[in-house]
Structure 1
Amino acid sequence: MADVYDEDLYRRTRALIEPGDIELVGLIVHTALGGDEDLEMHELTVELNEIIADHAGKGESYIYAGNDTTEFASNQFQGLTLEDDAFVWECQQLLREGTFDLVFYYEADIDQAAVVDAVETLEHVDRATTVRDDE
Structure 2
Amino acid sequence: MSETVDSDLYTRTKALLEPGDVELLGCIVHTTLGGDEDLEMHELTVAINEIIADHAEKGETYIEAGNDDTNFSSNQFQGLTLDDEAFVWECQQLLRNGTFDLVFYYEADVEQDALAADLSDLDGVDRVTQVP
Common fold: TM-score over 0.5: yes
Residue pair 2:67, 2:75 contacting (<8 A) in 1 also:
no
Question: Residues of 1 paired with 2:15 and 2:71: CA distance?
Answer: 19
Question: Residues of 2 paired with 1:32 and 1:66: CA distance?
Answer: 23
Structure 1 counterpart of 2:28, which letter? I
Residue 17 of structure 2 corresponds to which residue in structure 1? 17
Shift in Å, 1:5: 8.1
- Whether 2:83 is the aligned partner of 1:83: answer yes
Alignment of 1:1-135 (within 5 A): 6-132=6-132
TM-score normalised according to structure 1 size: 0.92
Shift in Å, 1:32: 0.5
Structure 1 counterpart of 2:31, which letter? T
Shift in Å, 1:98: 0.4
Residue pair 1:4, 1:129 contacting (<8 A) in 2 also:
no
Shift in Å, 1:66: 3.0
Question: Residues of 2 paired with 1:33 and 1:44: CA distance?
Answer: 10
Q: Which runs of 4+ in 1 moved over 4 A?
A: none
Structure 2 counterpart of 1:87, which letter? F
Residue pair 2:27, 2:128 contacting (<8 A) in 1 also:
yes
For the aligned residue pairs, the C-alpha RMSD in angstroms reads 1.5
Question: Residues of 1 paired with 2:53 and 2:70: CA distance?
Answer: 26
Aligned length: 130
TM-score normalised according to structure 2 size: 0.94
- Answer 1 or 2: which has greater helix percent: 2
Stretches of structure 1 lacking an aligned partner (at least 5 in a row): none
Residue pair 2:61, 2:80 contacting (<8 A) in 1 also:
yes
Stretches of structure 2 lacking an aligned partner (at least 5 in a row): none
Residue pair 1:26, 1:131 contacting (<8 A) in 2 also:
yes
